[in-house]
Structure 1
Amino acid sequence: MNKKYIVPRFQREYSWTQDEISEIWKDIISNIRFKNNIIVNEEYFIGSLVLVGEDKSTEFQIVDGQQRLTTLTILLSALVETFKEIEKEDLAQGLYTLIEGKTVLNKPFFKLENEHPKPFLQKVIQNFEKVKIAPETQEEVLLNNAYDFFVKRFQKQNLIKDFSEYTNLDSILIDETIYTNFLEAIRDQILQLKTIYITVSNEDDAYTIFETLNARGMNLTTVDLVKNEIFKALRSQHPNDDAKDNWKKIRTNLSLREEKVNIDTYFRHFWLSKYEFTTEDKIYKSFKKLVKQNKIQMDQFLEDLIYESDNYKKVTDPLLTDWKQQEEREIFNSLMALNVFRVTQVRTLLIALLTQRNKNEITLTDLKRVLKIVENFHFIFSAVCSSRASGLESKYSKYARRFRECKNNRDTRKVILDLNVDLKEKLPAQNTFVENFGNLYFTNDETKHKRLIQYIFKTLESSLRKTDELEIANITLEHIIPQSTVMLSGAVGKIGNLLPLAGSINNLVDRKDFKTKMVLFEKSELRVVKEFIKENSTKDNWTEEDILQRTEKMAIMAYNNIWRAD
Structure 2
Amino acid sequence: RGVDLKQHELIKNYIFKYIHPRANIDTAKMKWDSMEAKLYINRRSTLDSFFTHYVSHRFEKPNKDNTEFRIVKQFCDRQHMGDFLDDLYEKASFYRMFYFPDECDNPIIKESLQFFLSNNHRQFRPLFLSVISAYKRHKITESEAEKFFVFIRNFYLGYGVVCNGKSNTIEDMVYLYARKIENEDATTALNELKSKLYQYYPDYNTFEANFVLLGWSHRVKSYKTPSRKKEVQYILSGIEEYYLSSNQELTVHKFSIEHIANDDGTDTHCLIGNLLMLAEPINGGAADKTYTEKIPYYKRSNFVSTKKFVERYGELADWPESNITNRGKHMAKLAYDTIWKF
1:353 aligns to what? 131
Matches of 1:261 and 1:463 in 2, distance apart? Answer: 38
Corresponding position of 1:543: 320
Match of 2:54 among 270, 281, 293: 270
What SS does the corresponding residue of 2:270 show, helix, strand or coil?
Answer: coil
Report matched runs for 1:135-154 at 5 Å.
none
The one of the two structures with greater contact order (alpha-carbon pairs below 8 A, sep at least 6) is 2
Call closer, same or farther: CA 1:304–1:238 in 2, change over 3 Å: closer
Secondary structure of residue in 2 paired with 1:477 = strand
Q: 1:467 is matched with which residue?
A: 246
Contact 1:341/1:378 (<8 A) preserved: no
Q: Residue type matched to 1:369 in 2?
A: K
Distance 1:456 1:229, change over 3 A: same
TM-aligned CA distance change 1:368 to 1:255, over 3 Å: same
Amino acid of the structure 2 residue aligned with 1:335 = L
Bigger mean CA deviation after superposition, 372-381 or 282-291: 282-291
1:322 alignment counterpart = 104
Shift of 1:413: 4.1
Matches within 5 A, 1:280-291: 281-282=65-66, 283-291=68-76
Matches within 5 A, 1:139-288: 218=4, 220-234=5-19, 241-256=26-41, 258=42, 260=44, 262-279=46-63, 281-282=65-66, 283-288=68-73
The 3 A distance-change label for structure 1 pair 424 and 260 is farther
2:88 is equivalent to residue 305 of structure 1: yes
For residue 417 of structure 1, the aligned residue among 191, 195, 215 is 191
Whole-Å separation in 1 of the counterparts to 2:289 and 2:308: 20
- Which ranges of structure 1 fall in alignment gaps of 5 or more residues? 1-49, 51-63, 66-217
Partner Cα distance (1:348, 1:385) in 2 = 23
**In 2 relative to 1, CA 362–504 (structure 1 residues): closer, same or farther, beyond 3 Å?**
farther
1:239 & 1:384 partners in 2: Cα distance?
51
Change (3 A) 1:413 1:299: closer
Q: Match of 2:257, SS?
A: strand
Amino acid in structure 2 at the alignment position of 1:549: N
Q: Note if 1:458 corresponds to 2:237.
A: yes
Please, which of 269, 280, 292 is the counterpart of residue 515 of structure 1? 292
Q: After the TM superposition, which residues 431-442 of structure 1 pair with which residues of structure 2 at under 5 Å, given as runs?
A: 431-442=205-216
Q: Which amino acid aligns with 2:241?
A: S
Question: For 2:258, what is the secondary structure of its paired residue?
Answer: strand
1:99-129 Cα deviation digits (max 9, x unpaired)? xxxxxxxxxxxxxxxxxxxxxxxxxxxxxxx
- Matched to 2:207, the amino acid is F
Equivalent-residue separation in structure 1 for 2:20 and 2:245 (angstroms): 57
Do 2:135 and 2:141's aligned partners in 1 also have CA atoms closer than 8 Å? yes
Aligned partners of 1:505 and 1:520 also within 8 Å: yes
Q: Distance in 1 between matches of 2:79 and 2:154?
A: 36
Question: Percent identity of the aligned residues?
Answer: 25
Q: Cα–Cα, structure 1 residues 280 and 465, in superposed 2: closer, same or farther, change >3 Å?
A: farther
Q: Give a deviation string over 1:409-433, Cα, whole Å, max 9, x none.
A: xx55433322221111111233332
Whether the 8 Å contact between 1:340 and 1:452 is mirrored in structure 2 is no
The amino acid across from 2:129 in the alignment is I
Superimposed CA distance per residue, residues 272-309 of structure 1 (whole angstroms, 9 cap, x where no aligned partner): 11223453541433322224xx3772222122112111
The TM-score, its normalising length taken from structure 1, stands at 0.54
Runs of 5+ consecutive residues of structure 2 not aligned to the other structure: none
Cα deviation, residue 390, structure 1: 2.6
Q: Which one has a larger percent strand, Structure 1 or Structure 2?
A: 1
Aligned residue for 1:297, secondary structure, equals helix
SS in 2 for 1:492: helix
CA contact (8 A) 2:19 2:80 kept: no
Structure 1 residue 475, shift from structure 2 partner: 1.9
Residue 285 of structure 2 aligns to a residue whose secondary structure is helix
Q: Does 1:400 align with 2:175?
A: no
Residue 333, structure 1, aligned to residue 111, structure 2: yes
The equivalent of 2:260 in structure 1 is 480
Report what 1:147 is aligned to: none
Paired letter, 1:424:
Y
Q: Structure 1 residues 366, 414: closer, same or farther in 2, change over 3 A?
A: same
The aligned length equals 335
Q: Which has the higher helix share?
A: 2
CA distance in 2, matches of 1:223, 1:391: 28
Equivalent AA in structure 2 for residue 307 of structure 1: E
CA contact (8 A) 1:380 1:427 kept: yes
SS at match of 2:166: coil
Q: Which amino acid in structure 1 is aligned with residue 104 of structure 2?
A: D
1:331 and 1:368 in contact (8 A); partners too: yes
Q: Which has the larger radius of gyration?
A: 1
